[in-house]
Structure 1
Amino acid sequence: MPQYIRPLLRAYSLGYVSFVSPRLLHILLSRANKSKSEAFIIETLRKAFELNRFPAFCGITVGGWRLLLPVTKTVVKQICSLPSYSKNFSATTHKLIANFFASFISGAVGLQLLNGGYPEAPAGRTLDLTLWTATRALDVLVGELWLRRKKRRLESGNWSRFEDGIGKLADAMAFSLTAGIVMFAWFYIPEQLPRAYNQWITGMSNLDSRLIVALRRIRGGEFIYGEDTGQADLLGPYCKMMGLLEVLGDPQRTVPIPCRLIHSGWTDNCEKHAVWRFWSSWTKAFVMYFPLNLVTRLRRPSLKSLSQALLQSARSSAFLGAFVAIFYYSVCLTRTRLGPRFFPNLSPMFWDNGLIVKMGCTLCGWSVLIESPARRAEMSAFVAPKALGVVLPRKYSRKHQWREVLAFALSFAVVMTAFHANKARVRGVTGRVLGRIVA
């Protein structure tokens, strides 16, 4: 098979599997009757071959880059051979420029075709893909600038321990910031998050929706301590469900909302509740992580691979358990343990009017330090696009779609050019997948 065709077929095949597999699994688990399941499966397999679907997008972006590369190399070589340019660019620079333009063109064409099947719908359906690519490009650029700075500082003997610490904690800081933005959005503007991701956070939080509504109404000025604003019926039934007095949910008669309500009625003790949250989240996460880690090691089954799967699952579950426990305990520390003790003149409304959520969002992400440095980088790359999506419109007019296409094409070009120059510069799963496709 010609070398320039291989990346196209590999990228298309990977895109096809990524597109079809979750849909087929959903159909098989949906308990639909046999005839409907067969119809859905056939329809899914048929749609996967359409030009405006993800498999074709993968083939066009990566495969198109490889097909265009000889053309862009020729054009760049001709331009750089002119007397005014010949002394300014090396052969390596020629290749990088050619890679940039080839991937820029293929990226723009690929995203435009991916959006082409819905001409009447608002633009924005590919925003998550664009943001993911943009954060990968940003990681490449920032990482390269940091490495160059480190090299200069080491050569001059000025590299400090503080700078070394910043480098080691960069991914943890990025995750903490972006995870905090995502959690704040989940509380107050959940429509800005992808639906599936929003549902996943809801499931892991194990927090009654009435408490979330109460926090939103406090922030919106509808739920006010010491006043009858018609909110007693919101938390009263919740208290009754937990076997507590309904008056505990009445903001006019009970100030502030007792911590026991936030603890799901389990205990009055905030520390015991944090430990319970950690354990319940750990067990829930372990059930999710262990099968995934086990499947990735089935290619070489052994006692060692089994123990590695157990240890990795336990570690990742500890991260998630700590994330949830730190969030809840930060809320309790702010509103009852430390806040009123150090600032007794501030009203309970001051703490519950968004500040407790902000404190939880600020601190919970640091639980990522439990994970390995490589996992921190991957998790930061996963959450960062979600955080960017919070501040950007998920639907917009098609007349502005060229902006998203331009952003994606530039980001894709940066990633592909960096990969061509130094494969290690594109970190994590992205680098490993590109290595298999382009090899």
Structure 2
Amino acid sequence: MNRERITPGRIRRLTLPDGTGQAFLWDTDAPRLAVRITEGSKSFVFESKLNRQTVRVTIGDVRTWELDAARDEARRLQTMVDQGIDPRQEKRERIAAVEAKRVEARRRKAPALEAWQAYIEARRAKWGHLHLADHETVSKAGGKLRTRGRKVGQSDTTMPGALRPLLLLPLEQIDADQVRAWLQDEAVRRPTHAALAFRLLRAFLNWCSDRTEYRDQAHKDACITRMARDELPKKSAKDDCLQREQLPAWFAFVRQIQNPVIAAYLQIALLTGARREEVAGIRWEDVDFQWKALSIGDKVQGNRTIPLTPFVASLLVALPRRNEWVFSSPAAASGRLQEPRIQHNKALAAAGLPNVTIHGLRRSFGTLAEWVECPAGVSAQIMGHKPSATAEKHYRVRPLDLLRMWHTKIEAWILNEAGIEKPAEDARSGLRAIG
């Protein structure tokens, strides 16, 4: 073993002997310290015996370690060996601790968008199509070229989602002050979108506060209810609804819509009182012409069956069977109708009627049903409203025939007011398939 007092000069002059892969220069001041030289590298190493096994630990490169510091480190490591501690394990633990700190620092600096994506994936199976689309809309990056005509003064590119600025911040920075400042800004520009984004953000932060990986960063109280009440405009109850005297004009212009699928969709939405996506999501397998029943995917109960009334049946019979969807659309990626509002708004404008949303047609059904003195519980059951009274929950089990009696009355009254002749009872004939 080549041992002599190591000095900076000796380290500089140290060369690798020919035909060897490595060489050592052992120190006399710190007997367990050596300079190890390999091809293109010189480093301080520590070597000792623990449980009759050789223990060697690289301290560091001679260019980054001072000689005295390397001697001190060698003495410290020998003290550990004397205590029965393996310095290699201590080094691994130290490196792991440094790596853990680095990972933790990166996690805390990561944008909340990463947690947002994890949240969406965790909840995707429990959400409906529209709820999932809302989350994607409020967090979208924006900046894409507009595919439709833009309004005057509007940018050529799409705006980012309302939550995007917040989600680009680290999760721990999304506190009450940050949310309030964001909400004040968004409420001025797009209050409805801001209200939706605020509700989704509150649910997201609640989810994060229940997860061990995000709990220490999430501010559960960042979206207190009072904040929305203070910063957002007061939400007024919507009352768009077709009145009795408006029925003739509405039916006349809706039935003139060139697209028969959209025309049928709007009429059936009014005559069933179903929700927008409930109607759009009807499949042919849900329609039972023999027993005059219609199965609808209910967002509250999962599924409900309502009567297939004569006029609705006649509208369905006339529709083309292109695929599994009743309201099919060859142009849509999903294969079914996606946006009926444009044609509906055109029909309303042509008829000189005030604005009525698609949901307003549902509201219209509930309102018009009162003209035939239909029991409130019957119309609510047809529409898929969750029972509110104890009697409705536990003491009313209405058979489909009873619902059909009232539903047929409602439909007949609406058609009579609209000046439309009622169809024959059997609307099964005339079914046709289109390839």
Shorter-chain TM-score category?
under 0.3
Computing the radius of gyration from Cα coordinates, the structure with the larger value is 2
- What TM-score comes out, normalization by structure 1 length? 0.22
Whichever structure has more helix as a proportion of its residues is: 1
Whichever structure has more strand as a proportion of its residues is: 2
Q: Which has the higher contact order (CA 8 A, sep 6+)?
A: 1
- What TM-score comes out, normalization by structure 2 length? 0.22
